[in-house]
Structure 1
Amino acid sequence: MPIRPENKNRYPADWALRSRFVRFVRARNRCEWCGAENGKPHPVTGKKVVLTTAHVFDHRPEAASLLNLASLCQLCHNRHDAKMRRAGIKRRREIEGGQMALEF
């Protein structure tokens, strides 16, 4: 996933190095969840795999420890982020509807 310009300053200065390390050294150029190989057809979708670096447990850009990062294909990354996106849409609807969601 591309970094949004408004969030760029929230990532650590060595983000590119961390991202490359996770994707190409630790994960050996494969998705850490499904094993799809970078640049090859995805076994499920058939589309060319492009690895991304995902925040797994803590989605904040500042949370860039290697234990929080994973090398994921587009399918796995989108499935992982879908839960967060759905929660964000629900929260925006509640706010726009005049009700603020409580967070504990």
Structure 2
Amino acid sequence: MPMKRHLYPSNWDTIATIIKYMADWHCTKCGRPCRRPGQMWDVFCWELRHEGSKWCQETDKPGRFVLTVAHLDQNPGNNARENLKALCPTCHNRHDAKARAINRSHTRVVKLEDAGQFRIKGV
């Protein structure tokens, strides 16, 4: 799900970069190495192969090597260090799955309302 930027502080990019740096650009759940800002894809792949990384076989899927930062309590306003964790997209999706399932019906209604569908009270 795309990030709702308006829910995050204006310095979110700096906060996220610090969390990723502290994790040495690796997923803190599964250990997947991720590309650093500005790192060329071919250089990143070469480094994986050179290190004999188990992740080499997945280099045809660049999106799996992007590091994200998850809010453990699902609250983008809570940016305390202990509430933030560097995760690869797969682990981040697994972390968010339960909350997404709980909010799915509410999200569906909000999307319909945003598209112009009005809710009828009492029906």
Q: 1:52 aligns with which of 64, 68, 71?
A: 68
The answer to whether 1:33 aligns with 2:29 is yes
Structure number with greater Rg is 2
Q: Residues 62 and 92 from structure 1, CA distance in 2 versus in 1: closer, same or farther, beyond 3 angstroms?
A: closer
Q: Where does residue 7 of structure 2 map in the other structure? A: 10
Aligned length: 91
CA-based RMSD: 3.0
- Distance in 1, matches of 2:106 and 2:77, equals 22
Q: Which runs of 5+ in 1 are unaligned?
A: 99-104
8 Å CA contact 1:18, 1:66 repeated in 2: no
Look up the equivalent residue of 2:32 and give its one-letter code: A
Structure 1 or 2: more helix by fraction: 2
TM-score with structure 1 setting the length = 0.70
Residues 30-87 of structure 1: CA distance to partner in whole angstroms, max 9, x if unpaired?
00111100036884x823311001101x211111111100100011000011111111
* Runs of 4+ in structure 1 over 4 Å off: 90-93
Q: Which runs of 5+ in 2 are unaligned?
A: 36-44, 49-53, 109-118
